Copies of this chain bind each other. A is one copy, B any other.
Amino acid sequence: MLHYQLQISMATIISMIGIVLSILMGFRISSAYDRWWEARKIWGALVNDSRTLIRQLIVFTLETKVTGKHLQSMAYRQIAFLYALGQRLRGQPDFSVIASFLYTDEWDDLVKRENFPNLLLLHNLYAFKKLESEGHITNFDMLRLDETTARLTDSLGGAERIKNTPFPIPYSHFTSFLVHLFAMLLPFGMVETFGYIAIPIAICVIFIFMIIEQIAIEIQDPFSNKENDIPVTAIANALEIDIKEMLGDRVLPFRNKAHDGIIM
């Protein structure tokens, strides 16, 4: 009896690996979720700051000679910015949806350049500067527009950061390796106890860990053109509606509907 008590059984070893794996997986999924939620917050900030920017433009140019058409061109450039950023993050080369929001020559020029969305922000700031130097808006107004643009730049960079920075590779490789190691060890100790029932039970336990890993992989890259992405197109579409409404349009675009339960 004494002898028995000094021994460690296979069950203890398996349990221990199981606990380590659970804790590592718990951290894995929670940091994947944090990336996803941070990406969502960044897109939220893009919407908020776009609304603020257009609201500022509308109000600052009130009772000036700035035409509604001029105002619209700047507001549409901001809408184009959001669509363009979404397409770029997802690596989709088709920017044609954006063309309708830009002047033809601007579009022709920009489409050949490197960082499309970054240049759109610059172009809008050019337009604001022109308003200032022509006396339509004050220094104070320009200050505020520049501040809002700086925040938009932060969100642009934040989205690129999440897109371009993979989750630390040694960590994701190691947890993946551990799941497979565990998958190989587990059935060994089970065959004799359970007989043929061992196979479905072992598969079941292993699947649990593999599914968790898979969910983490899905969520951690929220701009990968898959169904659990941040719905960047739908968000840009919602912003388009809001901005057009603020400009006074009465006929608004349709809201993006879910296709097969998926909103992009």
Given the interface contacts A16-B15, A56-B146, does A8 sit within 8 Å of B161 by beta carbon?
Answer: no
Given the interface contacts A31-B33, A245-B119, does A204 sit within 8 Å of B181 by beta carbon?
Answer: yes
Cβ–Cβ contact A125 & B59, under 8 A: yes
Complex Cα distance, B178 from A86, in Å, reads 34
Which of B12, B23, B157 lies in contact with A48, CB distance below 8 A?
A: B157
Residues of B within 8 A of A36 (CB): 168
Given the interface contacts A51-B157, A56-B146, does A23 sit within 8 Å of B24 by beta carbon?
Answer: no
Complex Cα distance, B12 from A42, in Å, reads 43
Residues of B within 8 A of A147 (CB): 144
Q: Which residue on B lies nearest to A4, using beta carbons? A: B1
Cβ–Cβ contact B211 & A149, under 8 A: no
- Judged by a CB distance under 8 angstroms, whether A90 is at the interface is no
Cβ–Cβ contact B10 & A10, under 8 A: no
Query: Which residues of A from 108 to 149 have beta carbons under 8 Å from B?
Result: 113-115, 118-119, 121-122, 125-126, 128-130, 133, 138-140, 142-144, 146-149
Q: Which residue on B lies nearest to A60, using beta carbons? A: B129
- Judged by a CB distance under 8 angstroms, whether A208 is at the interface is yes
- Judged by a CB distance under 8 angstroms, whether A97 is at the interface is no
Residues of B within 8 A of A186 (CB): 8
- State the majority secondary structure of interface residues on A: helix
- Judged by a CB distance under 8 angstroms, whether A67 is at the interface is no
Which of B13, B20, B138, B192 lies in contact with A201, CB distance below 8 A?
A: B13
- Judged by a CB distance under 8 angstroms, whether A63 is at the interface is yes
Cβ–Cβ contact B146 & A146, under 8 A: no
Complex Cα distance, B193 from A5, in Å, reads 7
- Judged by a CB distance under 8 angstroms, whether A73 is at the interface is no
Contact sample, A vs B, 16 pairs, CB 8 Å cutoff: A2-B192, A7-B190, A8-B186, A11-B12, A14-B16, A16-B205, A17-B208, A24-B212, A44-B158, A44-B160, A48-B157, A139-B140, A140-B140, A170-B228, A171-B215, A171-B219
Tell me the A residues contacting B by CB distance below 8 Å: 1-20, 22-27, 29-31, 33, 36, 40-41, 44-45, 47-48, 51-52, 55-56, 58-60, 62-63, 113-115, 118-119, 121-122, 125-126, 128-130, 133, 138-140, 142-144, 146-150, 153-154, 156-158, 160-161, 165, 168-171, 174, 178, 181, 186, 189-190, 192-194, 201, 204-205, 208-209, 211-212, 215, 218-219, 228, 241-242, 245-246, 252
